[in-house]
Amino acid sequence: MRSLTRTLLTLLTVFVLVLTGCTNAQGTTPVKETTESANPKTDDATTAEPTSPPTDATTTTAQPEETTTAEEAGSEYRNLCATFLDDTGVTERNKWTMYDWDKEGQYMTASHSLEVAWANGYGKAWLFDGVKSSDETMFDVGAYLSCTINPGWGEFSGSIDESTVTWKKKDLNEWIEINLQGIFTIDKVNFSTLYTLGEHGMPSDFTIAVSADHEHFTTVVDEVGYHQDITSKDQSFSFEPIEAQYVYFHFTKGTKSIDNNLAYCVGLSEIEVWGK
């Protein structure tokens, strides 16, 4: 009897131990799940950090406004002479304010230039006012003429100095030099005549040379027997891109006389130098 009792106690003890072990084994799963949920994975935490915007995102609107420098403005292909008058304080464009512009020759020098307030005005400044050849009459716009008035006369009256015009022949020896106020890469020069339907004052033989240092010039245009293109107000001359600050025009022959007073002097209404 005593032996039977000992056996039953032994079996009961084993049963209790087995039951306890099963209970503990089942309880380990929720503890593990709780631990994992309370500690996010490392890579999940990384994705929560701020990321850089995509390259195609329009983020420039959020950036501080930038000031355009002269160098940045110069990177745009444009007529480099277009701001000459504004840069020198000429805001009103009329014959009373335009004659005798740039007397110091900072922007342009020339062999001769008629600087008077006759008719619609004559002088260097008219080459940069943005108004090109007239479609109506020859002197309907302000213009540059390669002659001068007789010494001693004022800007509103006088007579042409005959030594500065060429009579009864087309040979010329006139020049214009433009200072772009900096070195740019240029590839085209345009100029416009007095009158779209006629070659009065239009040079037929001329060269255009450019320089970056005002010492070494490269000829980029060499015309002999050129005739005006009446389909356009721009007489346009393109060439390979070249760095330059100075543009030098040399006129050696005219096409047609302007009138009985001005003869074969050069007459132009606009000059453009294109580059960036």
For residue range 191-232, what is the model confidence (pLDDT) as tens digits? 999 999 889 999 999 999 999 999 999 999 999 999 999 889
Residue 70: what residue type? A
What span, in angstroms and rounded, lies between the C-alpha atoms of 68 and 81?
19
Distance of CA 37 to the CA centre of its chain: 62
pLDDT bin (cut points 50, 70, 90) of residue 233 is: very high
pLDDT bin (cut points 50, 70, 90) of residue 179 is: very high
31/9: higher pLDDT? 9
Instruction: Examine the pLDDT at 71 and tell me if it is beyond 70.
Output: no
pLDDT in the model for residue 11: 52
Nearest to 271 by CA among 135, 24, 85: 85
Nearest to 194 by CA among 142, 150, 271, 243: 142
pLDDT bin (cut points 50, 70, 90) of residue 125 is: very high
Close Cβ partners of 224 (under 8 Å, ≥ 6 residues apart): 204, 205
| Strand extents, DSSP E, the chain | 78-79, 108-110, 144-145, 171-193, 203-211, 218-223, 235-254, 267-275
Q: Buried b vs exposed e over 95-115: b needs ≥16 C-beta within 10 Å?
A: bebbbebbeeeebbbbbbbbb
pLDDT bin (cut points 50, 70, 90) of residue 152 is: low
Tell me what percent of the residues of the chain surpass a pLDDT of 70.
Answer: 69
